[in-house]
Copies of this chain bind each other. A is one copy, B any other.
């Protein structure tokens, strides 16, 4: 169909040209004998003027009708600075109504007051909103850049199966009953982890895939039952090679989509240091406000509360917020204390305010002058500064202050916009103790390599074994995780043993995968980058549904197509399954 350009591309330099446009009616206004129509296509909106000679032809035209219009671009007398095309309008000379439309059930505009559930039900209309189109194009652009960057660095995209093997512990697996082998099931992969490691064993050397992943869990606001991962794996590498690849990727993506030049290399902080400095394994580095360990200041303190904590092996941690003293009343500080009591089982929150060169606050009277001076010096405290202190077991104190760090940064509005602070968090603990299972479990997955110097602690001190796992954090969000994998069978056997698996149990769980390690496995490692999270950061939205074309609700419902739905008995019969009695009763 004839069309000379996109509606949103017209500028004052086009004045005088005859154009043919196609688009949806975004708005129609009558103005005496004139009719003004905002015509929208993927490129944007332009105003069309229908004069009395032609207005009659569109007398029935309403919102979301599709028109093809030929006319002349003219300079507007009253420019609209909100529109990129606002300096011109198109004077219609002929018009063809391509399709009609019923009144849409939602408002199709960037600013919409339609309910999200209604928008999800009519997602095909919601997608006409220019901002959602922009997000979809951003997502496409990021994938294009990622593929071209990785391709140019010798990575090969390989599609791995969606119909995969269920793992025996796969409570989070979506299952697919087999028609040919009744009673057996496929599982949708939570990630291509095993396949990509097999590709390394298969000699692919550099693999990537923008891969669909599936996780059947009770959804949180920022999760969808299916999601996408930029999945990367490399052979013959250490952390530096993986980090270099990801850094190049991020630089290309941020340059290509936001024209932002990222730093050459991202800083790296080991997990342990990260926890003590920021109380989080995904700190937002757009602001400072680091946690200080005040334990040495309070060694031998007369303040019994702190002394007891320190004697019990705990720590005293503090964090400063400049110019914040006046913004937190006693009541406000009580709320902060409630927040960390509820969230982290912290016992209490102490605070100090600097006012006219003097410290006041909940514990001011309990501290010695030496201690006060040491604190002022430690934090370089100025008038109006606020210091929050938690004395507790280290993880509690750190997590509490880490959470307060984030909360106060938002409340105090100290977070700079349009800054992108990347951080590699490295050297995660290899294991964590599962109270539920009464044993050590792998924190990342059991194929993650332990740090070489910690291997001899696998059995004697598993809590102090660190791994070659890493996360990339951006502005407080975990963008990816990954690790250098084990490629040595003996070490793999030891790790299984450390998490209480016999080789027999390991075989039952990972069978063919363990076999594969016997035939010349290269050292390898990689990452999985959460695509939706990355696009959300780039788009500046907190709603994952903004960056997914056809999302589900938080409770995993597709309101548009009404899925999941009931199926014919015949379909179940050929799969050799039936609904349980309880299910039938509840349907």
Residue numbers of A with Cβ under 8 A of B are 1, 3, 22, 24-25, 40-42, 64-66, 98-102, 104, 122-128, 133, 136-137, 139-140, 143-144, 147-148, 151, 156-166, 168, 170-171, 173-188, 194-195, 198-199, 201-206, 212, 214, 216, 218, 225-226, 228, 236-238, 487-488, 511-513, 516, 518-523, 548-550, 552, 555-558, 560-568, 570-571, 573-580, 582-584, 586-587
Q: How far is the CA of A236 from the CA of B96 in the complex (A)?
A: 13
Given contacts A163-B174, A520-B24, contact A184 B566 (CB under 8 A): yes
Given contacts A102-B518, A159-B549, A549-B160, contact A24 B183 (CB under 8 A): no
Q: How far is the CA of A390 from the CA of B578 in the complex (A)?
A: 52
Residue of A176, A520, A573 with most partner-chain B CB within 10 A? A520
Q: How far is the CA of A523 from the CA of B102 in the complex (A)?
A: 17
**Cβ contact within 8 Å between A165 and B226:** no
**Cβ contact within 8 Å between B565 and A166:** yes
13 A/B residue pairs, CB under 8 Å, sorted by A? A41-B205, A140-B157, A144-B147, A160-B549, A175-B571, A178-B564, A180-B555, A183-B587, A184-B563, A184-B565, A186-B563, A198-B560, A577-B578
**Cβ contact within 8 Å between B166 and A571:** yes
**Cβ contact within 8 Å between B579 and A583:** no
**Cβ contact within 8 Å between B102 and A519:** yes
Q: Smallest CB–CB gap between A297 and chain B, Å?
A: 46
Q: Which residues of B contact A160 (CB under 8 A)?
A: 549-550
**Cβ contact within 8 Å between A125 and B519:** yes
**Cβ contact within 8 Å between A550 and B161:** yes
Q: Which residues of B contact A186 (CB under 8 A)?
A: 174, 563-564
Q: Which residues of B contact A143 (CB under 8 A)?
A: 157
Given contacts A163-B214, A562-B511, contact A41 B580 (CB under 8 A): no
Q: Which residues of B contact A522 (CB under 8 A)?
A: 22, 66, 98-99
Q: How far is the CA of A555 from the CA of B178 in the complex (A)?
A: 11
Give the residue of B158, B182, B583 whose beta carbon is less than 8 angstroms from that of A182: B583
Q: How far is the CA of A65 from the CA of B203 in the complex (A)?
A: 12
Q: Smallest CB–CB gap between A538 and chain B, Å?
A: 16
Q: How far is the CA of A464 from the CA of B162 in the complex (A)?
A: 41
Q: Smallest CB–CB gap between A122 and chain B, Å?
A: 8
The 8 closest A-B pairs by CB, nearest first: A127-B202, A101-B520, A576-B583, A165-B563, A184-B564, A64-B520, A165-B561, A128-B203
**Cβ contact within 8 Å between B571 and A171:** yes
Q: Which residues of B contact A557 (CB under 8 A)?
A: 181
Q: How far is the CA of A240 from the CA of B184 in the complex (A)?
A: 47
**Cβ contact within 8 Å between A1 and B164:** no
Q: Smallest CB–CB gap between A466 and chain B, Å?
A: 22
**Cβ contact within 8 Å between A165 and B1:** no
What is the chain B residue whose CB lies nearest that of A560?
B512
Q: Smallest CB–CB gap between A167 and chain B, Å?
A: 10
Q: Which residues of B contact A165 (CB under 8 A)?
A: 558, 561-565
**Cβ contact within 8 Å between A195 and B550:** yes
Q: Which residues of B contact A173 (CB under 8 A)?
A: 571
**Cβ contact within 8 Å between A565 and B176:** no
Q: Which residues of B contact A139 (CB under 8 A)?
A: 158-159
**Cβ contact within 8 Å between A567 and B166:** yes
Q: Which residues of B contact A40 (CB under 8 A)?
A: 203
Q: Which residues of B contact A170 (CB under 8 A)?
A: 567, 571
Q: Smallest CB–CB gap between A135 and chain B, Å?
A: 11
Given contacts A1-B238, A520-B64, contact A577 B580 (CB under 8 A): yes
Q: Smallest CB–CB gap between A526 and chain B, Å?
A: 15
Given contacts A42-B204, A550-B161, A577-B578, contact A488 B99 (CB under 8 A): yes
Q: Smallest CB–CB gap between A274 and chain B, Å?
A: 28
Give the residue of B42, B179, B195, B586 whose beta carbon is less than 8 angstroms from that of A203: B42
Q: Which residues of B contact A125 (CB under 8 A)?
A: 201-202, 519
Q: Which residues of B contact A148 (CB under 8 A)?
A: 144, 148
Q: Smallest CB–CB gap between A434 and chain B, Å?
A: 18
Q: Which residues of B contact A225 (CB under 8 A)?
A: 163
Give the residue of B3, B151, B203 whose beta carbon is less than 8 angstroms from that of A127: B203
What is the chain B residue whose CB lies nearest that of A121?
B512
Q: Smallest CB–CB gap between A49 and chain B, Å?
A: 21
Give the residue of B98, B101, B157, B188 whose beta carbon is less than 8 angstroms from that of A162: B188
Q: Which residues of B contact A570 (CB under 8 A)?
A: 171
**Cβ contact within 8 Å between A228 and B42:** no
